[in-house]
């Protein structure tokens, strides 16, 4: 078990529906990470932008992007994660994929598809929450619109990190800031949010506001809005152990069953 976990979050623009160019752009950005890290986090739909045209960009779990993620993980000696469009069993999924240097793949299918954009009509929603165990840390991996649903994210598994990757637009960015901080506070966990920047082909603007919060809701990153940027932050297991032993708020959480 590692007492520290070093995370690199990449806040980036995305090339519309162009997986090859996006892979190339992220490979160049990852090369700029000169210090050892444990996990590299990319945005939601990092190969395409938030598209409702999955037939233009979808891949399988044996496709080029998964192979690329494995290669980057081995080369960087760090897990690489983010979501992309996956085609499987005649359905499309907005799938969060976590690839490790040990050639292990974990994934989570976005539970709350974004009805306002019609995502629910194009992509099949996931049905299972996934807790990823990596280097002694338990990570709850979620995607964008999931952020608005605290019951789905509730810390019933004693996870250490709740992680969101997103294409969250500028008009609702105040909600992103508030909810990401709230998810960290209520779950007494680190909260990681990685959002894209730039404009997509639908003229929606994305301002970034990527951030990492500690278990008390303190922001421990300093990211410039509206700019491509890489931030590296170290998570401390001792921080979580200390606040949970001292405050014990999770002991008073409600029991419930999800349907």
Q: What pLDDT is stored for residue 190 in this prediction?
A: 98
Decide if 144 is catalytic. yes
Residue percentage of the chain with pLDDT more than 90: 97
Please check the confidence at residue 109 and state whether its pLDDT lies above 80. Answer: yes
Q: What is the pLDDT of residues 40-93, one digit of tens each?
A: 999 999 999 999 999 999 999 999 999 999 999 999 999 999 999 999 999 999
Q: What pLDDT is stored for residue 1 in this prediction?
A: 76
Q: What is the pLDDT of residues 165-213, one digit of tens each?
A: 999 999 999 999 999 999 999 999 999 999 999 999 999 999 999 999 9
Decide if 135 is catalytic. no
Q: For all residues of the chain together, what is the average pLDDT?
A: 97
Catalytic residue among 106, 140, 144, 186: 144
Residue percentage of the chain with pLDDT more than 70: 100
Q: What pLDDT is stored for residue 167 in this prediction?
A: 98
pLDDT band at 259, cuts 50/70/90? confident
Please check the confidence at residue 233 and state whether its pLDDT lies above 90. Answer: yes
Q: What pLDDT is stored for residue 258 in this prediction?
A: 85
- How far is Cα 135 from Cα 227, in angstroms, rounded to an integer? 31
Catalytic residue among 29, 70, 106, 110: 110
**Mean pLDDT, residues 127-132:** 97
Please check the confidence at residue 19 and state whether its pLDDT lies above 90. Answer: yes
Q: Which residues pair with 91 in a beta bridge?
A: 88
Q: What pLDDT is stored for residue 230 in this prediction?
A: 98
Catalytic residue among 17, 44, 119, 186: 44
**Mean pLDDT, residues 21-39:** 98
Decide if 110 is catalytic. yes
Q: 97 exposed, middle or buried (CB, 10 Å; 0-12, 13-18, 19+)? A: buried
Please check the confidence at residue 249 and state whether its pLDDT lies above 90. Answer: yes
- How far is Cα 25 from Cα 258, in angstroms, rounded to an integer? 39
* Domains of the chain and CATH, by start: 4-252 (3.60.110.10)
């Amino acid at each position: 078990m590692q007492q520290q976990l070093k995370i690199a979050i990449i806040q980036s623009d995305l090339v519309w529906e162009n997986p090859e160019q996006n892979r190339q752009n992220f490979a160049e950005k990852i090369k700029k990470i000169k210090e050892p890290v444990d996990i590299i986090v990319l945005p939601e739909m990092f190969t395409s932008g938030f598209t409702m045209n999955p037939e233009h960009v979808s891949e399988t779990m044996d496709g080029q992007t998964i192979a690329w993620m494995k290669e980057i993980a081995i080369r960087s000696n760090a897990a690489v994660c983010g979501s992309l469009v996956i085609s499987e069993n005649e359905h499309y999924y907005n799938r969060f994929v976590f690839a490790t240097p040990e050639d292990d793949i974990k994934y989570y299918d976005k539970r709350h598809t974004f009805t306002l954009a019609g995502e629910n009509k194009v992509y099949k929603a996931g049905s299972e929450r996934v807790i990823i165990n990596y280097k002694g840390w338990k990570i709850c991996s979620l995607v964008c619109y999931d952020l608005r649903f605290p019951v789905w994210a509730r810390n019933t598994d004693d996870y250490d990190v709740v992680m969101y990757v997103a294409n969250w637009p500028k008009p609702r960015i105040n909600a992103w800031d508030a909810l990401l901080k709230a998810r960290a506070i209520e779950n007494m966990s680190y909260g990681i949010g990685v959002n894209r920047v730039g404009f997509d082909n639908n003229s929606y603007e994305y301002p970034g506001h990527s951030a990492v919060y500690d278990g008390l809701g303190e922001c421990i990153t300093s990211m410039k809005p509206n700019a491509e940027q890489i931030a590296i932050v170290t998570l401390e297991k001792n921080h979580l152990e200390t606040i949970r032993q001292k405050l014990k708020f999770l002991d008073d959480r409600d029991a419930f069953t999800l349907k």
